[in-house]
Amino acid sequence: MPKDSRLRSGCDDRVGIEQARPGTYVLVLSSRSTDLIQIGKLGALQLQLGFYVYVGSALGPGGLRARLAHHLKPSRRPHWHLDYLRAHTRVEEICYRLDTRRLEHVWAERISLTEGASVPPVGFGSTDCGCESHLFFFQQLPSLERLRQVLGKGIRTVSYSRRRM
């Protein structure tokens, strides 16, 4: 697929997913706000200065490419809990694995056990499963190396640190 058609589809060229393939992803978001925001029906979230790590999966027809394209741009009509948070944060890193298995629950459990992780709101991104949350807060930016260790083999990463979101 030509490079420019990926950009027109909304998925940044650095993600490198040329087809609609299923997978699981982690978004590392930075927050420079202490605003109190509403997260749909979940309730209010007091933002903290630091980094949020969100775990999700995209196993449907558009796969990871479509889901990441959605998360990389502001949402005019928020659908997922993450859409509300994205309006107040910046994407720093993306970690993903192309796979037909739903790995988000295992990844969420592993990230929750990572040193420095806390759960800001219980139920964020996990109202349809038994996980405590799919969103975690870190005061310091988790290293990509550490995330790769926690998530396991086959992880691809994309850095957005120098890009405005």
With beta carbons less than 8 A apart as the criterion, state whether 76 and 30 touch.
no
Give the per-residue pLDDT at 18: 66
Q: Measured between alpha carbons, how far is residue 41 from residues 82, 123, 155 in Å?
A: 12, 11, 32
pLDDT above 50 for 133:
yes
Number of neighbouring beta carbons within 10 Å of residue 162: 6
**pTM passes above 0.95:** no
Q: What percent of the chain has pLDDT over 90?
A: 56
Phi and psi torsions of 35, nearest 5°: -65, 155
pLDDT (average), residues 136-160: 91
Average pLDDT, the chain: 85
Q: What is the DSSP string of 141-165?
A: PPPHHHHHHHH-TT-EEEE-TTS--
Give the per-residue pLDDT at 108: 95
Q: What is the DSSP string of 26-93?
A: EEEEEE----EEEEGGGEEEE--SEEEEEEEEE-STTHHHHHHHHHHS--SS--SHHHHHHTT-EEEE
Residues 3, 12: Cα–Cα separation, whole Å: 10
Longest Cα–Cα distance in the chain: 42
- For the chain, what are the domain ranges? 3-159
pLDDT tens track for 9-68 = 445 555 666 678 999 999 999 999 999 988 988 889 999 999 999 999 999 888 998 999
Phi and psi torsions of 98, nearest 5°: -75, 120
Q: What percent of the chain has pLDDT over 70?
A: 85
